[in-house]
């Protein structure tokens, strides 16, 4: 498959764009592979790519039950950051940030990564102290962080109501300027094309219906397109983890599935070129290249596998949006969507061998799945290829919940049924 370049663009412009080839093949599944990855989202595709690129394992199949990118990789708010407090999360997400910074060049595909910054608003002196603590921890880890005063924020985001009607006044904030956004579809397409170019089979409309066993060991999968045997089977299906693992007889995992809604408004003139988060509630918002306001907030508070939400969360998110930006109150909402979140009990991911021989598990991403896409695939590929975690993802083992070594970034403890 040809490289994308200025010369290829010029050539196809002259011949009426007749020579562009499909970005990836549509192969039929073979009877056996070295590795089968269940899940054709960002994490599954990036894992396949790094298996081929970093470890020379190209006899890989990625199985997607629908069309490529139909899950959470195409149902998110596209925000990327590494502004974490705890060392395990700092190392992981900063590794992801560094991969993001060279990803378009690495994949030979423009993922539209825009480092426009992420500003967390503080609404009380105590909250600003907490942000200062996080910022200092980040800088000790070599991650960029900067405290902003009220006046700096006023100049940086002029449309923001600094006074919030007196109820939630802004007293300052913490910004990571290397943070930003990327185009979610382009990330999926870029990883798919790059993995395909290295020999990976991407098999769409292929739902896993069961697991093949040799005694206790997983040796393949049963699918709607036949049985496929594999030396190793990796599961990266986000909010569907519970359902897929139940097919293997694993009924209890420290995760829950919830829907997370996201929204986009009609296009308006550019007035904000950063990501802003509301510290007195849960709202994150940016303006897309098309002019629409892209934003989201809390998950719906009930367990579900449905890719839709309910009206109380819509009302909650809209009220916070209007409190921050009163000038947007008459802007129309264009559309909304929902992604199924696999919420872990400590808010941090699981990237591990097991829980069954021959199986590997990637789940528990909560709100952080999209920004983790490169590091997740990189670390999961290492774990699959070497049958042991890389030091970066070693803390994210499944047994931490049994051993009590939780990575509690939010600082509120494990909260089953209370996300």
12-22 pLDDT tens trace: 888 888 888 88
Q: Average pLDDT in the 358-374 region?
A: 95
Alpha carbons 277 and 297: distance in angstroms, whole number: 9
- Do 197 and 207 contact (CB within 8 A), yes or no? no
Dihedral over Cα of 386, 388, 392, 393: its sign: positive
pLDDT for position 110: 95
376 shares its domain with 267: no
pLDDT for position 412: 62
330 shares its domain with 259: yes
CB atoms within 10 A of CB 343: 24
pLDDT more than 90, % of the chain: 81
Whether the predicted pLDDT of 222 surpasses 70:
yes
Q: Does residue 215 lie within any of the structural domains?
A: yes
Backbone angles phi, psi at 266, to 5 degrees: -65, 160
pLDDT for position 166: 76
212 shares its domain with 318: no
How is residue 271 written in tokens?
């007035």
Whether the predicted pLDDT of 150 surpasses 70:
yes
Whether the predicted pLDDT of 416 surpasses 70:
no
Confidence grade of residue 178 (pLDDT, cut at 50, 70, 90): very high
The whole domain housing 148 covers 118-177
Q: Does residue 356 lie within any of the structural domains?
A: yes
How is residue 368 written in tokens?
């952080």
Q: Average pLDDT in the 193-201 region?
A: 97
Nearest-5° Cα angle at 241, 238 to 247? 150
377 shares its domain with 235: yes
State whether residue 244 is helix, strand or coil: helix
**Which is nearest to 290 in space by CA: 183, 176, 180?**
183
pLDDT for position 413: 62
Q: Does residue 14 lie within any of the structural domains?
A: no
How is residue 318 written in tokens?
């809209």
Q: Does residue 382 lie within any of the structural domains?
A: yes
In the numeric block, the tokens 């789940």 are attached to 363
Confidence grade of residue 417 (pLDDT, cut at 50, 70, 90): low
- Final residue of a domain: which of 343, 372, 394? 343
Whether the predicted pLDDT of 418 surpasses 60:
no
**Paired residues of 181 in beta bridges:** 79, 114
- Do 271 and 287 contact (CB within 8 A), yes or no? yes
Q: Average pLDDT in the 127-147 region?
A: 97
pLDDT for position 415: 64
**Which is nearest to 299 in space by CA: 239, 335, 263, 341?**
341
237 shares its domain with 352: yes
Backbone angles phi, psi at 368, to 5 degrees: -105, 15
pLDDT for position 20: 86
Tell me the CATH number at 155: 3.30.9.10
pLDDT for position 278: 95
246 shares its domain with 355: yes
249 shares its domain with 352: yes
pLDDT for position 301: 82
Confidence grade of residue 414 (pLDDT, cut at 50, 70, 90): low
pLDDT digits (tens, 9 = 90+) for 275-286: 999 999 899 999
pLDDT for position 309: 83
pLDDT for position 165: 76
Q: DSSP string spanning 93-145?
A: HHHHHHHHHTHHHHHTS----B---EEEEE-SHHHHHHHHHHHHHHHHTT---
- Final residue of a domain: which of 177, 192, 221? 177
The residues, any chain, with a CB within 8 Å of residue 103's CB and separated by 6 or more, are 111, 113, 182, 187, 190, 374
Q: Average pLDDT in the 220-240 region?
A: 97
pLDDT top residue among 165 and 416: 165
202 shares its domain with 74: yes
In the numeric block, the tokens 């950051």 are attached to 81
Helices (H), 41-86: 42-55
Q: Average pLDDT in the 359-381 region?
A: 96
How is residue 399 written in tokens?
């047994």
197 shares its domain with 337: no
Number of domains in the chain: 3
pLDDT digits (tens, 9 = 90+) for 306-359: 888 888 999 999 999 999 999 999 999 999 999 999 999 999 999 999 899 999
Whether the predicted pLDDT of 155 surpasses 60:
yes
Lowest mean pLDDT among 163-172, 186-195, 267-276, 365-374: 163-172
- Do 277 and 118 contact (CB within 8 A), yes or no? yes
**Which is nearest to 79 in space by CA: 124, 115, 109?**
115
pLDDT more than 70, % of the chain: 97
Tell me the CATH number at 220: 3.50.50.60
Q: DSSP string spanning 140-190?
A: HTT---EEEEHHHHHHHSTTS-TTGGGTS---EEEEETT-EE--HHHHHHH
- Final residue of a domain: which of 343, 367, 393? 343
46 shares its domain with 161: no
Q: Does residue 39 lie within any of the structural domains?
A: yes
**Paired residues of 363 in beta bridges:** 350
Q: Does residue 415 lie within any of the structural domains?
A: no
| Range with the largest mean pLDDT of 300-304, 360-364, 401-405, 407-411 | 360-364
pTM for the structure as a whole: 0.95
Task: Report in angstroms the alpha-carbon separations of 154 from 148, 163, 195, 388.
Answer: 10, 10, 44, 48
Helix (H) / strand (E) containing 337: strand 333-344
**Burial class, 338, CB count within 10 angstroms (exposed 0-12 / middle 13-18 / buried 19+):** buried
277 shares its domain with 379: no
Average pLDDT taken over every residue of the chain:
93
pLDDT digits (tens, 9 = 90+) for 83-93: 999 999 999 99
Q: Does residue 110 lie within any of the structural domains?
A: no
Whether the predicted pLDDT of 419 surpasses 70:
no
Alpha carbons 57 and 80: distance in angstroms, whole number: 28
Query: Residue 67 gets which letter from DSSP?
Result: S
pLDDT for position 1: 58
Q: E strands, 188-332, where?
A: 201-203, 208-214, 217-223, 226-235, 255-265, 275-278, 283-287, 293-303
Q: Does residue 275 lie within any of the structural domains?
A: yes
Whether the predicted pLDDT of 186 surpasses 60:
yes
73 shares its domain with 44: yes
Lowest mean pLDDT among 4-13, 77-86, 209-218: 4-13
Alpha carbons 207 and 63: distance in angstroms, whole number: 7
């Amino acid at each position: 498959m040809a490289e994308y370049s200025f010369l290829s663009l010029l050539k196809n412009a002259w011949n009426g764009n007749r020579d562009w080839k499909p970005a990836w093949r549509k192969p039929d599944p073979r009877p056996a592979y070295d590795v089968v990855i269940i899940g054709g989202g960002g994490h599954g595709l990036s894992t396949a790519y790094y298996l081929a690129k970093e470890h020379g394992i190209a006899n890989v199949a990625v199985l997607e039950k629908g069309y490529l990118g139909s899950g959470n990789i195409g149902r998110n708010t596209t925000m990327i950051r590494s502004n974490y407090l705890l060392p395990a999360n700092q190392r992981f997400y900063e590794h992801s940030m560094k991969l993001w910074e060279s990803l378009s060049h690495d994949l030979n595909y423009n993922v539209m990564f825009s480092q426009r910054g992420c500003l967390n608003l503080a609404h009380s002196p105590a909250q600003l102290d907490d942000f200062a603590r996080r910022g200092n921890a980040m800088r000790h880890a070599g991650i960029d962080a900067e405290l902003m005063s009220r006046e700096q924020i006023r100049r940086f985001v002029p449309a923001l109501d600094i006074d919030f009607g007196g109820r939630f006044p802004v007293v300052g904030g913490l910004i990571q300027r290397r943070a930003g956004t990327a185009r979610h579809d382009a990330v999926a397409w870029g990883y798919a094309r790059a993995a395909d170019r290295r020999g990976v089979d991407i098999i769409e409309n292929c739902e896993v219906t069961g697991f093949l066993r040799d005694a206790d060991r997983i040796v393949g999968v049963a699918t709607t397109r036949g049985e496929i045997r594999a030396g190793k089977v990796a599961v990266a299906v986000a909010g569907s983890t519970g359902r897929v693992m139940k097919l293997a007889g694993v009924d209890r995992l420290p995760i829950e599935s919830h829907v997370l809604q996201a929204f986009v408004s009609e296009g308006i003139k550019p007035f904000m070129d950063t990501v802003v988060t509301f510290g007195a509630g849960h709202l994150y918002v940016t303006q897309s290249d098309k002019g629409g306001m892209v934003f989201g907030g809390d998950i719906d508070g009930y367990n579900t596998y449905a890719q839709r939400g309910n009206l109380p969360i819509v009302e909650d998110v809209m009220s916070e949006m209007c409190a921050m930006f009163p000038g947007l109150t008459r802007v129309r909402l264009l559309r909304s969507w929902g992604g199924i979140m696999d919420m872990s009990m400590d808010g941090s991911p699981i990237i591990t061998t097991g829980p069954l021989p021959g199986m590997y598990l990637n789940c528990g991403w909560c709100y952080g799945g999209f920004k983790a896409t490169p590091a997740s695939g990189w670390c999961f590929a290492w774990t699959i290829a070497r049958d042991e975690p890389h030091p970066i993802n070693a803390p994210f083992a499944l047994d931490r919940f049994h051993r009590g070594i939780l990575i509690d970034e939010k600082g509120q403890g494990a909260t089953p049924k209370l996300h």
